[in-house]
Amino acid sequence: MGGNDVSSDQVIKKLIEMGFEHSNAIEAVKAVGPSVDDAVEYVLNGCGRNPLSGTTSFQCSSRDVKNLGKRVMTSSQSNGEIRQSRIWEHFQPTSKPKRSRGNDVSDGVMSGSKVLPSPVEEHKEPNLLIDNQFENVAEPSKVCCSEELNIGTNWESKVNGLLRKHFGYSSLKSFQKEALAALLAHEDCLVLAATGSGKSLCFQIPALLTGKVVVVVSPLISLMHDQCLKLSEHGVSACFLGSGQPDSSVEQKAMRGMYSIIYVCPETILRLIKPLQRLAESRGITLFAIDEAHCISKWGHDFRPDYRRLSVLRENFSARNLKFLKYDIPIMALTATATVQVRQDILDSLCMSKETKIVVTSFFRPNLRFSVKHSRKSVSSYGTDFCQLIDVYARKKKVDGMKQPLVSHESHCPSDSDKFSGSGFNDIQNSDIEESDDESSEKENGSIPSRGRQMSVEYLENEVDVFQSAEDWDVAYGEFSGQVHCEEWNSHGSIEKIDPPNKPEERLRLLQEPLEQGPTIIYVSTRKETLSIAKYLCKFGVKAAAYNAALPKSHLRQVHKEFHEDSLQVVVATMAFGMGIDKLNVRRIIHYGWPQSLEAYYQEAGRAGRDGKLADCILYVNLSRMPTLLPSKRSEDQAKRAYKMLSDFFRYGMNTSCCRAKILVEYFGKDFGDKKCLLCDICVDGPPKMLDLKEEANILMQMIAARYAESGFMDYSYDDSLCSDTERRKFLVKPNLRAFVNKIREQSQKFITTDLLW
Ligand SMILES: Nc1ncnc2c1ncn2[C@@H]1O[C@H](COP(=O)(O)OP(=O)(O)OP(=O)(O)O)[C@@H](O)[C@H]1O
Ligand SMILES: [Mg+2]
């Protein structure tokens, strides 16, 4: 190999970091040379079979499946499980979300303590400047730097005209109208609307309506790219700026006013304050929009410290500082997942006006069917957990009489009636508790605690995708740098979009029908799981692909492409996949394991059913144990917040009596009243049957009393291995109930089969 030695080693190292098995990495590098992309393609295509075919779907042999995801690990890691810290002692009782600032927020308009004026203000005669006015104009002249927006009183009909022309829609939704009205009244606005409800139009339309520029702060380059691409298809000139922008001239053109909408990440906008001030004076800036605004809040799930500095927009674009402005340039913040606390944090950190109009729509997504299922969440449970999915996507092959690899798993398949079985409690087996993976890894690490902790941190950094900057996960697909061309409006392909079923009877009718066709996204927390599950599914003929930030960009781009083209059936991904993705026909979002928070869950689940048709959001978690937090270098404060988020989520999973949609909607501070979604597992199956466990409870209490009495308080040690004082004290604070239950089962044979959760 000579001169290639060093880079071959680096490629092998990189592959191992990505989660590939050592031997596969070596084989791949030997076969294709020292190129990460090529080597990954080679392994993903089944090491030696059909290398570099250009498809991202796995075509795996069982050998690959067996080896998949194994990494070079120390013996204490060899069970392949990530060592996680326990949450037990951090659980707090639920605190109900508080109402913000004493202001009641209702559907539609809320404006601090002030009642908003009617959307229509007195304006001068219409002076409507539509987008693309600067097309083919080398240097835009100073236009529209007047203080007034000059839209006129019949702005709604103008908007409808623009909507039809550019997007093919007949009218604005009412929340979009309210947001637009705020802008026309020169007011700040906080838009809280469900995923997929159409928040983007709230800031895109103003650019078309006023002829001035809208600057959009967005967290992710691929998201900016995706939106620019769509806008250019709709004949709206847009660009994105930042290190992900390949064309260096775009920034200059943008600052000269050649694009109607400029997307920019928080880091970049801080550098562009002066040029933006000049732009405000020349072409004019009508609005600063902060999309995915929950990223601002330290209480939000996607917290990004750079977002905290965006108050510079208020300081630098106020009428007080810029003499040519009559009003401060309004700020519009938008998000689908903000609790009351996060909303307040957004308002404060952006220095938004006290009169800020708060537009809240229902967070309810009436076509999403939520359910929670118990799973041990290990490779051995894939057969049970994914057999229905395999059945859906590989059904055709079965019908065609092809080989039926499913057969071996069919005995594990839950029947249709099990499909929405309560919260999955009934599926919990005693062995789930006895052979807790956490327990075994804890034992291993217990013998070498300090080393265990060190490895945990290393593991977190190697195994999960964390969203920190705009460049993270920059895998936009399709060519776009910044375009000023105008094309006729083209439709959303052939995918039909319908109004979601708002009436209860419509939702009940939905239950009778099977899900329409469309892709599935499976969210997992570690990179290794993306690989192992995707490979598992491929083995059964499902067109599945793994997606995590450590995989080569060429692979990720290909996944995006195939996903958008509907040639992939399942994407198994970390959180790196899908933010802001507006793909209409996603039919299932499966979360395999606890996401970091209810916010993250609802955001990700909201990627399903954007066409308005029935879609499934299924959470598979191990309900027999407390969720755990992946260890990291968080501050104490951050760790507490993370635990709180996880414990809120745990309560959602353990819930057995309340409609899932109601819990989710009310978590975000919106009253759901007595309504029910009628689709979720709780609504369909009702709470689990009541059991009389008096006898069991009596025995448990007797056992506890006997144990404490027999050993005395301080000397008590139930478990012989708990020999130090500290360990005994710890035990007394946190008694080992599992051990008690085991004892009862030993002594009372009759309870041997009783569900241990009692
Ligand atoms: N007035 C409207 N009439 C019909 N369809 C609309 C309207 N406004 C937006 N849409 C459509 O709604 C879909 C979702 O829009 P958008 O991506 O803006 O959602 P979002 O609220 O930003 O979601 P997310 O929170 O996931 O980012 C798009 O396909 C868009 O074309
Ligand atoms: Mg959006």
DSSP notation for 169-202: -SS--HHHHHHHHHHHTT--EEEE--TTS-HHHH
The pLDDT-based confidence of 86 (bands split at 50, 70, 90) is very low
Q: Could you tell me if 126 and 152 are in contact, meaning their C-beta atoms sit under 8 angstroms apart?
A: yes
The pLDDT-based confidence of 118 (bands split at 50, 70, 90) is very low
Q: Is the CB of 609 under 6 A from ligand 1?
A: no
pLDDT of res. 430: 40
Residue 398 Cα, ligand 2 centroid: separation in angstroms? 39
d(CA 482, CA 378): 45
From the list 89, 85, 90, 86, the residue with the least C-alpha distance to 644 is 90
122-131, 157-166, 724-733 — most confident range: 157-166
pLDDT of res. 688: 74
Instruction: Tell me the two tokens of residue 75.
Output: 């013996």
Q: Is the pLDDT of residue 133 over 90?
A: no
SS (HEC) of 378-404: CHHHHHHHHHHHHHHHHHHHHHCCCCC
Ligand 1, atom 29, residue with closest C-alpha: 582
Q: Could you tell me if 21 and 69 are in contact, meaning their C-beta atoms sit under 8 angstroms apart?
A: yes
**Which of 333-342, 440-449, 567-576 is least confident?**
440-449
Atom of ligand 1 nearest to the CA of 607: 26
Q: Is the pLDDT of residue 255 over 60?
A: yes
Nearest bound ligand to the CA of residue 231 = 1
**Which of 7-11, 219-223, 689-693 is least confident?**
689-693
Q: Is the pLDDT of residue 10 over 90?
A: no
* Residue in 163, 169, 495 to alter for ligand 1 test, most ligand atoms within 8 A of Cβ: 169
Q: Is the CB of 580 under 6 A from ligand 1?
A: yes
Residue 197 Cα, ligand 2 centroid: separation in angstroms? 8
Residue 448 Cα, ligand 2 centroid: separation in angstroms? 47
Residue 217 Cα, ligand 1 centroid: separation in angstroms? 18
Q: Is the CB of 200 under 6 A from ligand 1?
A: yes
Report CA-CA distances (Å) from 432 to 49, 338, 645.
Answer: 38, 35, 24
Q: Is the CB of 520 under 6 A from ligand 1?
A: no
d(CA 250, CA 162): 26
Q: Is the pLDDT of residue 605 over 90?
A: yes
Q: Could you tell me if 266 and 217 are in contact, meaning their C-beta atoms sit under 8 angstroms apart?
A: yes
pLDDT of res. 181: 95
pLDDT of res. 360: 93
Residue written as token pair 């994407």: 571
pLDDT of res. 305: 82
Residue 719 Cα, ligand 1 centroid: separation in angstroms? 58
Q: Is the pLDDT of residue 294 over 60?
A: yes
Q: Is the pLDDT of residue 452 over 70?
A: no
The pLDDT-based confidence of 656 (bands split at 50, 70, 90) is confident
Give the orientation angle of helix 382-399 with respect to helix 527-539, to 10 degrees. Answer: 40
Residue 494 Cα, ligand 2 centroid: separation in angstroms? 22
Share of the chain above pLDDT 70, in %: 63
Report CA-CA distances (Å) from 694 to 141, 269, 427, 690, 758.
Answer: 83, 64, 22, 12, 10
* Residue in 174, 197, 226 to alter for ligand 1 test, most ligand atoms within 8 A of Cβ: 197
Q: Is the CB of 219 under 6 A from ligand 1?
A: no
Q: Is the CB of 337 under 6 A from ligand 1?
A: no
Q: Is the CB of 289 under 6 A from ligand 1?
A: no
The region, left, alpha or beta by phi > 0 then psi within -120 to 50, assigned to residue 544 is beta
Domain 154-360, what architecture? 3-Layer(aba) Sandwich (3.40)
pLDDT of res. 557: 83
Q: Could you tell me if 231 and 204 are in contact, meaning their C-beta atoms sit under 8 angstroms apart?
A: yes
From the list 420, 394, 416, 421, the residue with the least C-alpha distance to 405 is 394
Residue 670 Cα, ligand 1 centroid: separation in angstroms? 21
Residues in the chain: 758
Residue 741 Cα, ligand 2 centroid: separation in angstroms? 49
Nearest bound ligand to the CA of residue 205 = 1
The pLDDT-based confidence of 511 (bands split at 50, 70, 90) is confident
Q: Is the CB of 571 under 6 A from ligand 1?
A: no
Q: Is the pLDDT of residue 242 over 90?
A: no
More confidently predicted of 404 and 279: 279
Residue 543 Cα, ligand 1 centroid: separation in angstroms? 28
Nearest bound ligand to the CA of residue 294 = 1
**Which of 42-46, 79-83, 148-152, 744-748 is least confident?**
79-83
Mean pLDDT value of segment 656-671: 92
Average per-residue pLDDT in the chain? 73
Ligand 1, atom 11, residue with closest C-alpha: 198
* Residue in 162, 199, 490 to alter for ligand 1 test, most ligand atoms within 8 A of Cβ: 199
Give the dihedral sign, CA 108/110/116/119. negative
Ligand 1, atom 15, residue with closest C-alpha: 198
The pLDDT-based confidence of 172 (bands split at 50, 70, 90) is very high
373 pairs with which residues across the strands?
Answer: 620
Nearest bound ligand to the CA of residue 603 = 1
- In 10 A of CB 201, how many CB atoms? 21
pLDDT of res. 69: 33
Q: Is the pLDDT of residue 750 over 70?
A: no
Q: 191 burial class (0-12, 13-18, 19+ CB within 10 angstroms)?
A: buried
Ligand 1, atom 23, residue with closest C-alpha: 196
Atom of ligand 1 nearest to the CA of 336: 25
CA angle, 220 then 241 then 268, to 5°: 75
pLDDT of res. 178: 96
Q: Is the CB of 193 under 6 A from ligand 1?
A: yes
Pairing assessment for the beta strands 615-621 and 588-592 based on DSSP bridges: parallel
The pLDDT-based confidence of 468 (bands split at 50, 70, 90) is low
d(CA 43, CA 282): 54
pLDDT of res. 475: 59
Ligand 1, atom 8, residue with closest C-alpha: 198
Q: Could you tell me if 481 and 105 are in contact, meaning their C-beta atoms sit under 8 angstroms apart?
A: no
Nearest bound ligand to the CA of residue 160 = 1
Domain 368-394+502-685, what architecture? 3-Layer(aba) Sandwich (3.40)
Nearest bound ligand to the CA of residue 582 = 1
Ligand 1, atom 9, residue with closest C-alpha: 198
Q: Is the CB of 198 under 6 A from ligand 1?
A: yes
Q: Is the pLDDT of residue 229 over 80?
A: yes
Residues 6+ away with beta carbon under 8 Å from 167: 201, 234, 489
Local structure of 24: helix, strand or coil: helix
Residues 6+ away with beta carbon under 8 Å from 573: 521, 522, 523, 524, 530, 546, 547, 548
Q: Is the CB of 578 under 6 A from ligand 1?
A: no
Residue 674 Cα, ligand 2 centroid: separation in angstroms? 29
Residue 607 Cα, ligand 2 centroid: separation in angstroms? 11
Q: Could you tell me if 194 and 335 are in contact, meaning their C-beta atoms sit under 8 angstroms apart?
A: no
Report CA-CA distances (Å) from 287 to 153, 329, 333, 686.
Answer: 20, 6, 10, 48
- In 10 A of CB 532, how many CB atoms? 22
Report CA-CA distances (Å) from 652 to 201, 237, 257, 483, 564.
Answer: 32, 43, 48, 45, 32
Residue 194 Cα, ligand 1 centroid: separation in angstroms? 10
Chain-centroid distance of CA 652 in Å reads 17
ipTM of predicted assembly, 2 dp = 0.99
Q: Residues lining ligand 2 (ion), CB within 5 A?
A: 199, 580
Residue 200 Cα, ligand 1 centroid: separation in angstroms? 6
Residue 224 Cα, ligand 2 centroid: separation in angstroms? 10
Ligand 1, atom 31, residue with closest C-alpha: 198
CA angle, 668 then 671 then 674, to 5°: 135
Residue 220 DSSP symbol? -
Q: Is the CB of 199 under 6 A from ligand 1?
A: yes
Nearest bound ligand to the CA of residue 204 = 1
261 pairs with which residues across the strands?
Answer: 214, 238
The pLDDT-based confidence of 376 (bands split at 50, 70, 90) is confident
Nearest bound ligand to the CA of residue 578 = 1
Q: Is the CB of 173 under 6 A from ligand 1?
A: yes
What are 405-422's pLDDT values in tens digits? 322 333 333 333 332 233
